[in-house]
Structure 1
Amino acid sequence: MSLIDQVIRPDIRAMSAYAVAHSDGFLKLDAMENPYPLPEKLKAALAKRLSEVALNRYPVPSYTGLKTRIRQKMGVPDGYDVILGNGSDELISLIALACAKKDEPAKIVTPVPGFVMYALSAQFAGMEFIGIPLKPDFRLDIEAMLSAIEKHRPTVVYLSQPHNPTGTLFDEKEVTSIIGAMSGKGIVISDEAYQPFAEASFMSKLPEYPNLVVMRTVSKLGLAGIRLGYMSAIPELLAEFDKVRPPYNVNVLTEATAEFAMDHIDVFNHQAAIIRSEREKLAVALDKLPGIEVFPSRANFLLIRVPKAGEVFEKLLARKVLIKNMGKMHTLLQNCLRITVSSPEENKIFLDQFSACIQ
């Protein structure tokens, strides 16, 4: 038996590492990033602030200043706090770690196809993952979701609002019915990574639902490089999650950058408004192309269905255009491609290259 066989769990050995496509020299439209950098004046101001950060000191693990700014700027209800994470990925892992049980596997239920980290966090923590397929038009199958809650009695239900990878914003009444079905049984996570582009949120409803957790990230807002996520819920629940959070999980440069961003949130909100406008223009342009099905999106990306999507994807790669081929992720996504909405200039380049590839 090899060393790896002796020390690494069988399910981990059978996995592949999370793959990130090589993108140097490409028009990069695969990762739902904001295409706009900071204005030059703000770049200079941020550089000055970062130059004054004490890199020789650990972060103060309470992160009081940053959390105060987030509460003030991001609509967190009065009396509610936030927990910070190294991106939403870490928060998802913390939830699984806190909710996993030794005596019997706790369960996570979520619509599929969905964000891969929900399933991975469940696997790593020893939880059971139960995926409930969306309807063919990517709406929530509310009857199947409620039936799964009744049958499996999950500890955690994840609902992405808007949903990744489809861009669908689930009906508010259906979401609240799931929160109600989970009352007294478990928690519902409203994962609002794409909230700046949806202009809809459950954050203000936290006081109405003690079993609701609202999770967000600053990545899609325009700060993917600093890796910061945050979540809010009733204080008693946050206190339990905080017990499994590493004490220095957000570094001092991320903390300072995020504080700076909160002080200039109007700049990022303006960029989000531009991206929302460009999303609608791109959707209209794609819909005019022959054979292309464009699905409604409230995120900063569009999901489309294309005949022979795999071939189109490879042709775009050859032209140095990188999007996401979703066809292998789930049967519902057969022949589907996902495109990040970018600047007007980059969107035009994509449309020109895409049009040539589907001829």
Structure 2
Amino acid sequence: MIEELIRPEIRSFIPYNANQQPYRIKLDANESPFNLPAAARQKLAEYVLKDPKLNLYPDTDSVELRKALSEHWTVDYKNIIVGTGSDQLIQVIANVFVGPGDKVLYPAPSFGMYGDSCIIAGGTPVKYILEPGQRFEYCKETIFEAYDREKPKLVYICNPNNPTGNIMPAADVLQVVRYCKNAVVVVDEAYAEFCDTTVIPHTLEFENLIVLRTFSKAYGLAGIRCGYSIAGPALTAAVNLARAPYNISRLSQYTAQLVLEEKDEIRKNVQYLVDQRKRLSGELEQIRGIQVFQSHSNFILVKADRCKEVYKKLCEKGIFIRIFGASPLLENCLRISVGTEQQNTILLDELKSICYND
């Protein structure tokens, strides 16, 4: 009986199933291998011991965190919204702008939440394809054509794109924003710290541009579930219409503020991962049967001969990476999060053993 009550368009959804089994090395979720900086951990411990007032609701507007972010980006804090990860903001944006008959244009392959949030809001998701044969590169003309044809309410650009790792140059992104003037253009920059690119400075210039950022990747705070958006005043006010009250816990707000104070250590961690990404990419290219796609993020997409076998054998060794079994655009593809030098060395040694052991 319950199944019959579920909305038809939701019935085929498959709940997200993160791999929670015991592991030796976990490189499957694009998480940072670095923990909260020691100085921030000490301050957090003192905060908890002093009395974090967890019996009271948190600041529903996350004002102190938004002010800290405003200093970081040199924008008005009133143009920032904080969400439970970027995921919540993606759903809130869909809830505000998308209804029955409305379309959302998004890249494929990319983050599945773009399409799912549209369906949940009652709209129709429409993909624009990043061609595997073109190394998944963005093509602004493809977006223009799809925009003219579909007339979407929302247009998504994931930059760098997950899981392919490629980027659209900022100048091209702004051309899309300018061309798609009757749609909200959402630029998801969850991984942008790893390539030092952003269109945040242009959010006041274009009233239809909103940029999403997160503390989950470069800042190593996936466990606190905290992201944010930056846009002009009108767009920020619109998105705020559907944001749930008290959506960010007191501990998450405070922890995010602490890590913003550790700019030097975060910058060092990011550079370390960028250097390891280059090293890992170069050594993966030397392994027989593996094709490496250039990445500007903290992960690397590869295409592997005997993909399922490689994945299975790595799992047996306790090494978790991501396999894409359901997407034809990502056939035989694996995504590897960049870890520490030691983690990457172990992964490479195991891959060589698997791929060379015919």
Do 1:109 and 1:154's aligned partners in 2 also have CA atoms closer than 8 Å? Answer: yes
Q: How far did residue 327 of structure 1 move?
A: 4.0
Counterparts of 1:78 and 1:14 in 2: how far apart (Å)? 42
Which residue does 2:52 correspond to in 1?
Answer: 53
Of 181, 184, 189 in structure 2, the residue corresponding to residue 187 of structure 1 is 184
Q: How far did residue 211 of structure 1 move?
A: 1.1
1:106 aligns with 2:105: no
Counterparts of 2:17 and 2:74 in 1: how far apart (Å)? 34
Q: With the length of structure 2 as denominator, give the TM-score of the two structures.
A: 0.94
Counterparts of 2:290 and 2:23 in 1: how far apart (Å)? 27
Which residue does 1:234 correspond to in 2?
Answer: 232
Counterparts of 2:149 and 2:15 in 1: how far apart (Å)? 32
Q: How far did residue 50 of structure 1 move?
A: 2.9
Q: How far did residue 20 of structure 1 move?
A: 0.9
1:297 aligns with 2:295: yes
Q: Number of aligned pairs?
A: 352
Do 2:69 and 2:77's aligned partners in 1 also have CA atoms closer than 8 Å? Answer: no
Counterparts of 1:260 and 1:41 in 2: how far apart (Å)? 9
Which residue does 2:87 correspond to in 1?
Answer: 89
Q: With the length of structure 1 as denominator, give the TM-score of the two structures.
A: 0.94
| Partner SS, residue 230 of structure 1 | strand
Q: How far did residue 182 of structure 1 move?
A: 0.9
Do 2:33 and 2:339's aligned partners in 1 also have CA atoms closer than 8 Å? Answer: yes
Q: How far did residue 153 of structure 1 move?
A: 0.8
Of 64-73 and 17-26, more deviation after overlay is shown by 17-26
Q: How far did residue 258 of structure 1 move?
A: 0.9
Which residue does 2:197 correspond to in 1?
Answer: 200
Counterparts of 2:78 and 2:207 in 1: how far apart (Å)? 11
Do 2:37 and 2:259's aligned partners in 1 also have CA atoms closer than 8 Å? Answer: no
Of 314, 327, 336 in structure 2, the residue corresponding to residue 339 of structure 1 is 336
Q: How far did residue 242 of structure 1 move?
A: 0.7
Q: 1:1-359 to 2 correspondence within 5 Å?
A: 2=1, 4-51=2-49, 52-73=51-72, 75-78=73-76, 81-101=79-99, 104-135=100-131, 136=133, 137-183=135-181, 185-221=182-218, 222-329=220-327, 331-359=328-356
Structure 2 letter corresponding to 1:54: K
Give the gaps of 5 or more residues in structure 2.
none
Do 2:289 and 2:355's aligned partners in 1 also have CA atoms closer than 8 Å? Answer: no
Do 1:156 and 1:186's aligned partners in 2 also have CA atoms closer than 8 Å? Answer: yes
Q: How far did residue 41 of structure 1 move?
A: 4.2
Do 1:53 and 1:256's aligned partners in 2 also have CA atoms closer than 8 Å? Answer: no
Counterparts of 2:39 and 2:86 in 1: how far apart (Å)? 29
Counterparts of 2:259 and 2:38 in 1: how far apart (Å)? 14
Do 1:108 and 1:130's aligned partners in 2 also have CA atoms closer than 8 Å? Answer: yes
Counterparts of 1:328 and 1:355 in 2: how far apart (Å)? 26
Structure 2 letter corresponding to 1:309: C
| Partner SS, residue 116 of structure 2 | helix
Counterparts of 1:212 and 1:76 in 2: how far apart (Å)? 17
Cα deviations across residues 82-124 of structure 1 (Å, max 9, x unaligned)?
00100000000000000023xx521110110110000110110
Q: What is the Cα-based RMSD across aligned positions, in Å?
A: 1.5
Do 1:133 and 1:141's aligned partners in 2 also have CA atoms closer than 8 Å? Answer: no
Q: How far did residue 79 of structure 1 move?
A: 7.2
Do 1:82 and 1:238's aligned partners in 2 also have CA atoms closer than 8 Å? Answer: yes
Counterparts of 2:105 and 2:285 in 1: how far apart (Å)? 33
Cα deviations across residues 105-160 of structure 1 (Å, max 9, x unaligned)?
21110110110000110110001100011122110133221111001111100101
Structure 2 letter corresponding to 1:166: T
Structure 2 letter corresponding to 1:347: N
Structure 2 letter corresponding to 1:176: L
Do 1:190 and 1:215's aligned partners in 2 also have CA atoms closer than 8 Å? Answer: yes
Counterparts of 1:100 and 1:252 in 2: how far apart (Å)? 31
